[in-house]
Amino acid sequence: MASSTFQSHESKASFFSLFLCIFIFLGSFVTTFNALESDRIINLPGQPLSPPISHFSGYITVNQAHGRALFYWFFEAQSQPSNMPLLLWLNGGPGCSSIGYGAAVELGPLRVNKNGVGLDFNKNSWNKEANLLFVESPVGVGFSYTNTSSDLTELDDGFVAEDAYNFLVNWLKRFPQFKTHDFFISGESYAGHYVPQLAELVYDRNKDRAKYPYINLKGFIVGNPETDDYYDYKGILEYAWSHSVIPNEDYDRAKKVCNFKVEDWSNECIVSMNGVFKKYEEIDIYNIYAPKCILNTTSSSAQSSGSFVSSTKVGSSVLKRVRIPGGYEPCFSAYAEKYFNKVDVQTSLHANTRGANSSVEWKVCNDSLLYKFTVFSVLPIYTKLIKGGLRIWIYSGDTDGRVPVIGSRYCIEALGLPLKTPWHSWYHNHQVGGRTVEYEGLRYVTVRGAGHLVPFNKPSEALSIIHSFLSGQDLPKDR
C-alpha cells in the first residue's frame, strides 16, 4: 500500500513536471510570437498593393547595459520562405545605411521612387532567391541608437563585428524558424571589411557550441569591396589614369611620392591624392560613365570640395589618409531621406518607438561618424575562411572609380590561390554580362557597365549573380 501511494505521488510529480515544461514552452513561444508579430509591417505608406510582401522591422538590442540597439528590415522570400536561405546585407561607408541603400535603392523588393513619397516594386529583388535581412550598422547609422554616448567614440571594425554578431544571435531568437536555414552574408564597399570579419566571428564561435549558439553559416559574397589598403589605393590611382580621369603628370607624381604600403601617408602623398579625387568632382567617381546627379542636395553621400584627408588615432599615433566614403548615388540619397523622414513611415517601420514625439532625423549616411580605421587588410581572413570551406565570391562593377576592378584583382591575386577555371566571359540576356575567374576557394566576377552599386546599376545581372552564388551553380557560359 505504501509502495502504491509512493508511486502515485511520483506519478503526480512527473505529470506536474511535464505540465510545467509545457507551460514554460508555450509561454516562451507566445512571447516570441508576440515580439515577432509586433515587428510586422502593416500599411507602409506608398507600398504597392501587389504583389503581397511579408516584411518586418524594428530594433534588436545588442548591448543591454549600454542601451545599444540596431535597426533591421526583413523581407521573407517571395516564395517558399521556409525552404529558402537567409541572406544578411550590409552597406559600408562607414556610416551609410543598409536600409537607405541596400533595401530601398538596390536589392530590396520595395524601392523608394524618384519623388521620395512612395515605393515601387523591384522585380529584380534578391528576395526572389532568399529571405533578405538588412541591418543599420554600426550604431549611430540611420535609426540605430545607443543610450551611452561614449559608444560613438569607440567605433572600429572589432566593435562593429561584435555588435553585428550579437544582433544576429538575438534576431534569430526573435525569428527562431530561420535558425536552421543556410545563412550567407553579403554587402558592398566598406562592408568588404564588415562581411568577412562577421563571417570570421561566426566561424570561430561556431566551434564552441557549449558557449555560443550555432549559426549555419555557409559563405559570403561582397561587391566592390574595400579589402586591402595598399592594393585598393594602388587600384584607385591606376584606374584614374587608365580611364583618362587624370593626366600623366598627376599619375607620375602620385606614383613617386606615395607609398600605399605604409599606414601613415606623407604630406606630399596626401596633396597628390587629394588632387586625384578632386579630378573626380566633375563626374561620378562611383560610376564614371553615368550622368552626374545635378540635384541640389545636401546628402552626405555627395562629394564635397576641399580636402578629403582623414585621420585615425591608433594608440598614441595619428595616421593620416585620404578617404572619401565608400559611397553612393546622390540623387536617390535625397529621395530616400525624404521618404524615411516622414513620420507615418517611421511609425509604420516601428522606428520612432522611444517615447512620445520621438521621430528620428534619418540620414542616408552619417558623415559625422567618428570611425577608427585600424584594420588595413582583411586578406588574412580570406585565407583562413577559404581553408575553412566557406563559399566566397567577390564581384565588381567595372565602371567604379572608388573601389575599382583593378584593385580588387590585385587583392585576389595576392592570395596566391590555385587557378581552377580561367578568365572567361559570362552571359546575361544573350550579351556579355562581365567576366569571371575561379580559384580554389574563391570566385571573382565583374559586371560590365556597372558602377559601385551593382544591384542598382545592373539589377537583372546582379540577380543572376546572387542566384548562382546561393545555388552553387555556375554563371551562364554561353550566349
| Per-residue pLDDT in tens (0 to 9) along the chain, 479 residues | 555 555 555 565 565 566 555 555 555 444 455 667 899 999 999 999 899 999 999 999 999 999 999 999 999 999 999 999 999 999 999 999 999 999 999 999 999 998 888 999 999 999 999 999 999 999 999 999 999 999 999 999 999 999 999 999 999 999 999 999 999 999 999 999 999 999 999 999 999 999 999 999 999 999 999 999 999 999 999 999 999 999 999 999 999 999 999 989 999 999 999 999 999 999 999 999 998 877 654 444 434 334 455 555 444 444 455 666 555 556 788 899 999 999 999 999 999 755 444 556 899 999 888 999 999 999 999 999 999 999 999 999 999 999 999 999 999 999 999 999 999 999 999 999 999 999 999 999 999 999 999 999 999 999 999 999 999 999 999 88
Which residue in the list 299, 348, 400, 468 is annotated as catalytic? 400
Q: How would DSSP label each residue in 313-378?
A: EETTEEEEEE---S---HHHHHHHHHHHT-HHHHHHTT---SSTT------SB-TT---B----B-
Hey, how many other C-beta atoms are within 10 angstroms of the C-beta on 39?
20
Please choose, from the candidates 353, 461, 349, the residue with its C-alpha nearest in 3D space to the C-alpha of residue 397: 461
Give residues with Cβ within 8 angstroms of 26, minimum separation 6. none
Give residues with Cβ within 8 angstroms of 228, minimum separation 6. 376, 377, 378, 379, 410, 411, 414
Q: Are 303 and 272 in contact (CB under 8 A)?
A: no
Strand partners, 428: 431
Give residues with Cβ within 8 angstroms of 365, minimum separation 6. 93, 95, 96, 97, 100, 141, 299, 300, 301, 325, 327, 328, 333
Pairing label, strands 131-135, 68-75: antiparallel
Q: Amino acid identity, residue 416?
A: G
C-alpha cell, 40: 510586422
Which residue in the list 97, 144, 189, 468 is annotated as catalytic? 189
Q: Are 81 and 357 in contact (CB under 8 A)?
A: no
Residue 157 among the catalytic residues: no
| CA 9 to the chain's CA centroid | 58
pTM confidence score? 0.89
CATH code for the domain defined by 55-228+376-471:
3.40.50.1820
Task: Provide the phi-psi class of 456: left if phi over 0, else alpha when psi is between -120 and 50, else beta.
Answer: alpha
Residue 144 CA to residue 264 CA, distance in Å, equals: 32
Q: What are the φ and ψ backbone dihedral angles of 236, each rounded to 5 degrees?
A: -60, -50
Hey, how many other C-beta atoms are within 10 angstroms of the C-beta on 249?
8
Residue 189 among the catalytic residues: yes
C-alpha cell, 366: 552619417
Q: How would DSSP label each residue in 50-108?
A: SS---EEEEEEEEETTTTEEEEEEEE--SS-GGGS-EEEEE--TTTB-TIIIIIIIISS
Residue 400 among the catalytic residues: yes
Q: Structural domain boundaries of the chain?
A: 1-38, 55-228+376-471, 231-237+246-324
Residue 394 CA to residue 281 CA, distance in Å, equals: 28
DSSP 295: S
